[in-house]
Every structure is written in structure tokens, then in C-alpha cells.
């Protein structure tokens, strides 16, 4: 039985009439860039998270870059973030001429360790830290109570990297409510995915929202009147239309992901050295990925591939050890928790269209590997 990591075609078939009609509407009205479909989606996505504004942009990378730019992060500044994430988190900082200052993650949740953040801010290597960017990795929020308290103590704004965490909650509050702004990715394989590149920024700050709307459209304040220079970060109309249709299903899909996570947890308990993802107290994980750990990762991955069960390693090389970030001057051993995670993590198939039979097949496959 084939078990894909994600199945975008199966998802499309469940929504085909509505998706096709929404795309047709954009084509018929020629609102290819921004327009009604994007505006409607922005309103609905903000409402879903209980946030005032959503600014639709071209990708999740844009959705991290634009708020940092709008907050005034620039050359010579620093942004505190983590090495165990997708490279876009750091690129958003580097593209502004600023420097990422890295802090290690918590071994249980894979998210920013607040103690390491506090240490860094006590002695930030001569840098001026202008923002803190925790990453809600795999669909679980970082420890936002502790991180918010540290940020408030130092008067530094937070920009949440919520690219993998649509509708995730912490202490009952949705992501997007813990910082100056939060960036989301709508890359096709995300919990809420477009049919191409797209991203969105949530903020409760009216002035920041306006600034970000202008930045995404060349600093334009009126037609051909530019108060400052920005870039083209606008969302396509077709992406807004597709996202608007899919958003109506997001809660149901999220519940299904959580149910599958529950089945994996009970079905895989006690199998070899396998460690399950930790759901920290107060966190409502949305399981963009269901990531287990084992010292026998490569062998398990091959064993499952032989049974046509797809898995993935996110991420095999922490960013401080990437060629692209060699200039930061970090080396092996600097972030041991991230390095160990990079060696041990494995994502099992996770999407809302997985059948119970497929989930059982994965569980049996993993148990067979460990002889459990
Ligand atoms: C944690 C994280 N940050 C940033 C991004 C960048 O998003 P995008 O690929 O939409 O530019 C992604 C998505 O790949 C991500 O997973």
C-alpha cells in the first residue's frame, strides 16, 4: 500500500467543484493580482486567528521579510532566532543586511529554548537585537509565555515564524497574537496550501499593517505615488481564491491531523528507541509534520521506503553548519540540541486525507522495523 507524506491530488478531488469555480471567477474577472479574492481571504484568515489584519504576500519567505523590514530592521542590526528551521527564517533577516543571532532549541519541542534566549540577550555579542523570531516548528508554538516575558523585559518586538503553524494555539490563543506580527507560508504542502507560492502576515497593529501593505506594493501610497521604496510582494488572485475555499476546511483538517497524531502515539508507544513528539502544556499542536526521533533513522527510513511508506527529514543540516551561513562563524558543537535533532528526526506521513488503514499500515511498518 502506497502511503505518501502528503497527497495534494486527493485533497483537490474533495473540493474540486468549489476550487474550479473560484479559479474560474478570478479568470473571468481578470483580478489576477490582489483583488477581491485576496481581500476576502485576508479578512477570513485574520478572523480565523482572532487577529485584526492579514496582509497577503507572495510567499512565506516574504511573510517573514516584510514585517522585519516594516519594523525597521536593517544593516548592522541583529535578529535572535534558531538554527533548527528552514533556511527562509534566516534569509528574511540576511536580506535586510542584518545578522541572525542563533539560540539553541528545546530537545522536547524542537522550538526556541527561552533560557538560551535570555542568555543571548544578556550578552548579545556587541549587536543590537532588533527583533526576536521564534519558529513554531512542525505545527507547535514555541514557549510564548516565557519568550514574550523576555522580549518585554528588553523591549524587543517578536515576529513569529508561523509558516508551519496555521491555527496552532498556545494558552488558548491562536498564533499571530504573540508578537508585532506573524508570518505564514501557504506553500502547497502546508496545512493550508495554495496552488503556487503564497504567504500571509497577521498583525494587530494598525500602523504596521498599513506599512506592510505599502511595502508589498513598492511603497505605493496612491497610484504611482511612492513614499518609500519597497518591492513586489503581492499575492496572486488565483492563490487568494484557492486559499479562500480551502480555509473553510482548515479546522476539520486540523482535527483530523490531531486524531492521526493520537493514533500514531498510541500505536507506536514502546517501539524501540522511538521518541514521540512532545505536546508541551498549553500547546495545541497542529501537526504540520509528525516527527519522531530515533538513533536508527536511516535504516528505518529505508525499511519504510521498501514498503512504499514515504518519510522525510526536516532538517538534516542545522543552519549554523550550512555553507550559506559559514560567515556567521559558528561551528560544530555550538548548538548541540539542534545538531542531535538533525541527526535523529524523521517525519512520518501526515495529512488530513490519510485513511485509518494507511495509518495502521505505517504503525505496523514502524513496529515491524523495531521488532515490536
Ligand atoms: C519554518 C518555515 N519558515 C519559512 C518558510 C518559507 O515559506 P515559503 O516556502 O512559503 O517561502 C517555510 C516554508 O517552507 C518554513 O517551513
**How much distance in Å is there from the Cα of 360 to the middle of ligand 1?**
30
Domain boundary among 214, 229, 247: 247
E runs forming strands in the chain: 53-57, 77-81, 99-102, 128-132, 159-161, 169-170, 173-174, 181-185, 199-203, 220-222, 225-226, 283-284, 290-293, 345-348
pLDDT at 29: 97
pTM of the predicted model as reported, rounded to 2 decimal places:
0.98
CATH number of residue 313's parent domain: 3.90.1150.10
Tens digits of residue pLDDT in 49-105: 999 999 999 999 999 999 999 999 999 999 999 999 999 999 999 999 999 999 999
Q: Is residue 1 situated within a structural domain?
A: no
Parent domain of 79: 8-102+110-247
**How much distance in Å is there from the Cα of 304 to the middle of ligand 1?**
26
**What is the pLDDT confidence band of residue 141, given thresholds at 50, 70 and 90?**
very high
* 350 in Cβ contact with 260 (< 8 Å): yes
Shared domain check, 94 and 81: yes
Q: Is residue 3 situated within a structural domain?
A: no
Average pLDDT of the residues in 187-209: 98
Pairwise CA distance, residues 27 & 117, whole Å: 48
Shared domain check, 257 and 239: no
**How much distance in Å is there from the Cα of 189 to the middle of ligand 1?**
10
How many CB atoms neighbour CB 153 within 10 A? 10
**How much distance in Å is there from the Cα of 163 to the middle of ligand 1?**
5
Q: Is residue 226 situated within a structural domain?
A: yes
Domain boundary among 247, 263, 287: 247
pLDDT at 126: 78
Task: List b or e across 236-255, with b for residues whose CB sees 16 or more CB atoms inside 10 angstroms.
Answer: bbbbbbbbbbbbebbeebbe
Q: Is residue 199 situated within a structural domain?
A: yes
Tens digits of residue pLDDT in 108-138: 999 999 999 999 999 888 789 999 999 999 9
Shared domain check, 335 and 238: no
Shared domain check, 269 and 240: no
Q: Is residue 313 situated within a structural domain?
A: yes
Give the pocket of ligand 1 (CB within 6 Å).
Answer: 59-61, 85-86, 88-89, 135, 161, 163-164, 185, 187, 199
Amino acid at each position: 500500500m502506497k502511503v505518501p507524506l502528503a497527497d495534494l491530488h486527493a485533497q483537490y478531488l474533495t473540493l474540486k467543484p468549489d476550487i474550479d469555480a473560484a479559479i474560474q471567477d478570478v479568470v473571468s474577472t481578470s483580478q489576477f493580482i490582489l483583488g477581491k479574492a485576496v481581500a476576502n481571504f485576508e479578512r477570513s484568515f485574520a478572523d480565523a486567528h482572532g487577529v485584526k489584519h492579514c496582509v497577503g504576500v507572495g510567499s512565506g519567505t516574504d511573510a517573514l521579510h516584510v514585517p522585519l523590514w516594516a519594523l525597521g530592521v536593517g544593516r548592522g542590526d541583529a535578529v535572535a532566532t534558531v538554527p533548527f528551521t528552514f533556511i527562509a527564517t534566516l534569509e528574511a533577516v540576511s536580506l535586510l543586511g542584518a545578522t541572525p543571532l542563533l539560540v539553541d532549541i528545546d530537545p522536547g519541542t524542537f522550538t526556541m529554548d527561552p533560557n538560551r534566549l535570555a542568555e543571548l540577550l544578556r550578552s548579545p555579542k556587541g549587536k543590537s537585537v532588533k527583533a526576536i523570531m521564534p519558529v513554531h516548528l512542525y505545527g507547535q508554538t514555541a514557549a510564548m509565555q516565557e519568550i514574550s516575558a523576555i522580549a518585554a523585559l528588553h523591549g524587543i518586538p517578536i515576529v513569529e515564524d508561523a509558516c508551519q503553524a496555521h491555527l496552532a494555539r498556545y494558552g488558548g490563543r491562536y498564533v499571530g497574537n504573540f508578537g508585532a506580527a506573524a508570518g505564514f507560508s501557504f506553500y502547497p504542502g502546508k496545512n493550508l496550501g495554495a496552488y503556487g507560492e503564497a504567504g500571509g502576515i497577521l498583525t494587530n497593529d494598525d500602523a504596521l499593517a498599513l506599512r506592510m501593505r505599502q511595502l508589498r506594493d513598492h511603497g505605493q501610497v496612491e497610484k504611482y505615488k511612492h513614499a518609500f521604496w519597497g518591492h513586489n510582494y503581492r499575492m496572486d488572485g488565483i492563490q487568494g481564491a484557492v486559499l479562500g475555499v480551502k480555509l473553510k476546511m482548515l479546522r476539520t483538517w486540523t482535527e483530523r491531523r490531531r486524531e492521526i497524531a493520537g493514533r500514531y502515539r498510541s500505536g507506536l508507544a514502546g517501539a524501540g528507541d522511538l521518541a514521540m513528539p512532545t505536546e508541551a502544556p498549553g500547546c495545541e499542536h497542529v501537526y504540520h509534520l509528525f516527527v519522531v526521533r530515533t538513533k536508527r533513522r536511516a535504516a528505518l527510513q529505508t525499511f519504510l521506503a521498501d514498503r512504499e511508506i514515504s518519510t522525510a527529514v526536516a532538517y538534516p543540516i542545522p543552519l549554523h553548519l550550512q555553507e550559506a551561513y559559514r560567515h556567521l562563524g559558528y561551528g560544530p558543537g555550538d548548538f548541540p540540541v539542534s545538531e542531535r535533532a538533525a541527526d535523529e528526526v524523521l517525519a512520518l506521513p501526515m495529512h488530513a486525507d490519510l485513511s485509518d488503514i494507511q495509518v495502521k499500515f505505517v504503525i505496523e511498518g514502524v513496529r515491524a522495523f523495531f521488532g515490536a
